[in-house]
């Protein structure tokens, strides 16, 4: 018999897998698989040996062979993979159905099925396309009112649906906001150049004005450029009371396409750090794009390291985000093997500034070994988290290992929820 708990739960809930009623000390192959909406099969497995009582638990035993190595009750979830080059797909509003089977000498002797949900069924979801705002508003179950969070995306330029759905499933009224659209379909800027912070100020006012929302401050969370933006918004806007930044930068960098500001406020440019490229020691952006198009992902973190090392202190000071102005707790999450930019070092700039100014609220930096630029919700397949499609046809090396990225996601997410609980409730 295979017992998996919970048998029906959210994708961010850890599972417990136990096998019982087997022969003592026999080798069993435990396999997990799911079929996505494109009809592709995701697969993981591990080979284990039962105890003297014919039982074993994945929380207590590492596989002798398989798609992951160490003791991990959730290893069969994050180590699932499909053939290289296959398109990745998940259906947002329909749960994943995951099948577990135990095999003895290639014969299935026990099986069970569980469901993993991307959103609690009682969360209300509303498309927002009003008052010049583009996004999705998630209202948690229950009468409320609820504390509120503003969720932001990174350079992909898409509404962060999954992040908003998960936060709402945990009791936070969440506006997942889109602030630029590289496709040009929405009435938004098409690139990260001269985006007014007033847009986010207006979004916060809209969010706090919803009947299901309580309090006079919101939390804000975002990854990558969205993490930089999260710190900047927290330092600039008084109605932000808790900040979570994934793989962020404590510096404001220039916008793409020349030395132009990425952000403005009150009609003025937000000071930024220019990205200076030493073409003799690091690849140019043209080469990065060419290599990406040819299917050879490359690391661009060296662009930022080289640029930072070439800057004078005046330029760095001007572009440093005054994070000490944030009116609440701060959580930074980074990967030490980040291939997009050196998020651990860039996060430490913010942490050092908080320390220097004796920030009166709790703050923490979670820096993970063997983790890269993609640190997302836990217990999701991480085999493809080592690359990052910055735009159609251009793939960059994001860094990290599947196990390192999986650990970073699983360890950081409960602390994200804890910070919002402390800062907003």
From 88-102, 372-386, 400-414, the region with the lowest mean pLDDT: 88-102
Are residues 376 and 280 both part of a single domain?
A: yes
Per the structure, the count of domains in the chain is 2
Q: Please tell me the predicted confidence (pLDDT) of residue 381.
A: 94
pLDDT band at residue 258 under the 50/70/90 scheme:
confident
- 246-269 average pLDDT score: 92
For residue 241, what is the domain's CATH number? 3.40.50.1820
Q: What is the pLDDT of residues 174-191, one digit of tens each?
A: 999 999 998 888 989 999
Domain span at residue 86?
2-117
Assess whether pLDDT exceeds 50 at residue 208: yes
Please indicate, yes or no, whether residues 91 and 128 belong to a single structural domain of this protein. no
Q: Does 91 score more than 70 pLDDT?
A: no
Instruction: Name the 3-class secondary structure at 163.
Output: helix
pLDDT at 304 over 80: no
The CATH code of the domain that includes 50 is 2.60.40.2240
Count Cα atoms within 13 angstroms, Cβ side, for 339.
22
Q: Are residues 138 and 201 in the same domain?
A: yes
Residues 243 and 307 in one domain: yes
pLDDT band with cut points at 50, 70 and 90 for residue 94? confident
Do 26 and 80 fall within a single domain?
yes
Each residue's pLDDT tens digit, 115-140: 999 999 899 999 999 878 999 999 99
Mean pLDDT computed over 340-347? 94
**Same domain as 269, residue 295:** yes
> What backbone torsions phi and psi does residue 348 show, to the nearest 5 degrees?
-65, -25
Strand partners, 33: 43, 99
Q: Name the domain boundary from 92, 117, 142.
A: 117
Q: With residue 10 as reference, give the H or E element that holds it.
A: strand 8-10
User: Which position has the higher pLDDT, 83 or 9?
Assistant: 9
Q: How far, in whole angstroms, is CA 286 from its chain's centroid?
A: 27
* Mean pLDDT computed over 72-81: 97
DSSP state string for 11-45: TTS--EEEE-SPPTT-EEEEEEEEE-TTSPEEEEE
Identify the pLDDT of residue 293: 44
Q: 277 falls in which pLDDT band (50, 70, 90)?
A: low
pLDDT confidence tier of residue 311, bands split at 50, 70 and 90 = low
What are the pLDDT digits (tens) for 146-177?
999 999 999 989 999 999 999 999 999 999 99
User: What is the token pair recorded at 119?
Assistant: 């959103």
CA 37 to chain CA mean position, Å: 22
Query: Of residues 333 and 394, which shows the higher confidence score?
Result: 333
Phi then psi for residue 174, to 5 deg, are -125, 130
Same domain, 282 and 221: yes
Per-residue pLDDT, 154:
94
Residue 111 and residue 16 share a domain = yes
What are the pLDDT digits (tens) for 356-381? 999 999 999 999 999 999 999 999 99
Are the CB atoms for 374 and 398 separated by under 8 Å? yes
Q: Report whether pLDDT(284) > 60.
A: no
Percent of the chain residues topping a pLDDT of 70: 89
In tens, the pLDDT along 31-63 reads: 999 998 888 899 999 999 999 999 999 999 999
Residue 89: which pLDDT band, with cuts at 50, 70 and 90?
low
Q: Which two tokens stand for residue 372?
A: 């890269």
Using 50, 70 and 90 to split pLDDT, how confident is the model at 220? very high
Eight-state DSSP code of residue 340: S
pLDDT above 90 as % of the chain: 76
| Higher per-residue confidence, 30 vs 86 | 30
* 388 neighbors 400 (Cβ within 8 angstroms): no
pLDDT at 309 over 80: no
Same domain, 194 and 91: no
Whether residue 172 sits in one domain with residue 92: no
| Final residue in a domain of this structure, among 81, 101, 117 | 117
Residue 286 has pLDDT above 50, yes or no: no
Mean pLDDT of the chain: 90
Q: Are residues 248 and 99 in the same domain?
A: no
Q: Which of 147-151, 195-199, 394-398 has the lowest mean pLDDT?
A: 394-398
User: Does residue 309 sit in the same domain as residue 370?
Assistant: yes
């Amino acid at each position: 018999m295979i017992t998996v708990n919970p048998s029906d739960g959210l994708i961010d809930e850890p599972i417990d897998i136990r096998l019982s009623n087997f022969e003592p000390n026999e080798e069993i192959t435990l396999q997990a698989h799911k079929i996505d909406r494109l009809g592709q099969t995701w697969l993981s497995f591990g080979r284990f040996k039962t105890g003297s009582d014919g039982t074993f638990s994945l929380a207590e035993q590492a596989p002798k062979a398989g798609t992951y190595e160490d003791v991990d009750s959730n290893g069969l979830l994050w180590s699932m993979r499909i053939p290289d080059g296959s398109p990745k797909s998940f259906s947002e509003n329909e749960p994943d159905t995951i099948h577990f089977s135990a095999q003895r000498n290639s014969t299935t002797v026990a099986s069970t099925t569980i469901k993993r949900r991307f959103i609690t069924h009682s969360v209300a979801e509303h498309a927002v396309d009003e008052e010049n705002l583009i996004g999705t508003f998630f209202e948690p179950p229950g009468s409320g009112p609820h504390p509120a969070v503003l969720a932001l995306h990174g350079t992909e330029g898409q509404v962060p649906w999954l992040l908003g759905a998960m936060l709402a499933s945990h009791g936070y009224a969440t506006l997942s906001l889109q602030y630029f659209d590289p496709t040009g379909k929405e009435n938004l800027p098409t690139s990260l150049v001269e985006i007014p912070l007033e847009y986010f100020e207006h979004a916060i006012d809209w969010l706090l004005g919803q009947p299901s929302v309580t309090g006079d401050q919101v939390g804000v969370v975002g990854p990558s450029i969205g993490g930089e933006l999260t710190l900047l918004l927290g330092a600039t806007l008084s109605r932000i009371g808790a900040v979570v930044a994934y793989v962020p930068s404590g510096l404001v960098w220039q916008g793409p396409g020349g030395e132009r500001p990425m952000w403005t406020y009150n009609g003025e440019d937000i000071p930024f750090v220019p990205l200076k490229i030493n073409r003799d020691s690091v690849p140019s952006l043209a080469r990065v794009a060419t290599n990406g198009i040819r299917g050879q992902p490359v690391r661009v973190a060296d662009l930022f390291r080289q640029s930072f090392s070439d800057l004078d202190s005046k330029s760095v000071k001007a572009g440093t985000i005054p994070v000490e102005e944030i009116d609440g707790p701060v959580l930074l999450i980074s990967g030490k093997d980040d291939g997009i930019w050196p998020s651990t070092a860039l996060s430490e700039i913010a942490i050092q500034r908080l320390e220097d100014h004796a920030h009166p609220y709790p703050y923490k930096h979670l820096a993970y070994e063997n983790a890269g630029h993609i640190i997302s919700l836990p217990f999701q397949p991480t085999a493809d988290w080592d690359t990052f499609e910055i735009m159609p046809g251009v793939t960059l090396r994001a860094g990290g290992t599947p196990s390192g990225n999986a650990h970073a996601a699983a360890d950081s997410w409960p602390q994200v929820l804890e910070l919002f609980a402390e800062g907003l409730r």
